[in-house]
Amino acid sequence: MSEQTPLVQSHECYALGWSTTQTPCRGLGADSTVALGDSAVIRTAQGELIRGVRGMLGRTLRAEAHLPKESAIVLGMFDALQAAAPAIALPAGLPEDGYWLKTTTLNGFPCLIITAPNDRGVLYGVFALPRRIALGQAVSPLDDRQVPYAPVRWVNEWDNLDGTIERGYAGLSIFFEKDNVVDNLSRAGDYARLLASVGINACAVNNVNANPRVLRSEFLPQLARLAEAFRPWGVTLAVSVDLSSPKIVGGLDTFDPLDPRVGEWWKEKFDEIYRVIPDFAGVVVKADSEGRLGPSAYARTHADAANVLARALQPHGGLVF
């Protein structure tokens, strides 16, 4: 390029009508945001929208719970939007975590709709709107449908329960210290916000060289606190597990994946986890590598080891990596 081009031309919003003396905008003139629904993620989405508009444009949108009698940004899941505005023709075939940004008219006023099949998709749509503004892209007229490239979008952390991080270079864990979950999880919540902003939907929080303590019954309420910090951002919790846990934690004399007692132990353990963390995402397991115990101890295959976990997770919809 022969000259530098500003990312946002004169802070133009191209029709949302958010303005300060430094940010001339025109068109929609939205003064409020309406959240249809009351899930934790929908509440987060509305708060994030207000936060983003205020931070980027210096204007504070009012938070409302009912369809407007003015120009507004309306966000909610398909079912809530359809109940509130039956005339809206929703897009067919949009999968979970996809979203639809649409300018239209509601109650005679121009509005921008952010909607999705599930609440996490609504949150992703909310993040997309200020991203469009920051890139100087038009927000009216708008008919934008986005679908995730892959349904499973996990990030794996290598945090140890003592607070160190394997191969870490940026300080101590924000999840663990002294073999426990940290008391203050505000940074974990901020991290979940970061993950949600780029569409990550799950996080395995501990090192693949897993400490078996993560599966002990007395530790599960601590994991539940982590899951609670993630939940408002649509990020689900996963953990790395040690394949020998039925022996180390469960007191069996074996962790042979083909032993029925081992399969039953994993089933009972995951049933217990899901009672404490209903939206638990699943597990990552490292075996027969770098000194980790694995199925080769019993002349079994990695498929044998994976399947004993998968069968126990399947009734709950959990995944194993």
CA distance 133 to 83: 29
Residue 18 pLDDT:
37
User: Phi and psi dihedrals of 243, rounded to 5?
Assistant: -65, -25
| Distant-in-sequence contacts of 254-257, Cβ < 8 A, 24+ apart | 254/298, 255/293, 255/297, 256/295, 256/297, 256/298, 256/300, 257/295, 257/298, 257/300, 257/304, 257/305, 257/307, 257/308
Continuous segment of H or E residues that includes residue 308: helix 302-313
Q: Which amino acid is at 67?
A: L
**Dihedral angle sign, alpha carbons of residues 130, 136, 142, 148:** negative
Domains along the sequence of the chain with CATH? 9-146 (3.30.379.10), 154-320 (3.20.20.80)
Query: Which residues make Cβ contacts (< 8 Å) with residue 289, sequence separation at least 6?
Result: none
**pLDDT tens sequence for the chain (321 residues):** 333 322 223 333 433 433 333 333 333 468 899 999 989 999 999 999 999 888 888 888 999 888 878 889 999 999 999 999 999 999 999 999 999 999 999 888 889 999 999 999 999 999 999 888 888 888 878 999 999 999 999 999 999 999 999 988 889 999 999 999 999 999 999 999 999 999 999 999 999 999 999 999 999 999 999 999 999 999 999 999 999 999 999 999 999 999 999 999 999 999 999 999 999 999 999 999 998 999 999 999 999 999 999 999 999 999 999
Dihedral sign for Cα atoms in the order 169, 173, 177, 179? negative
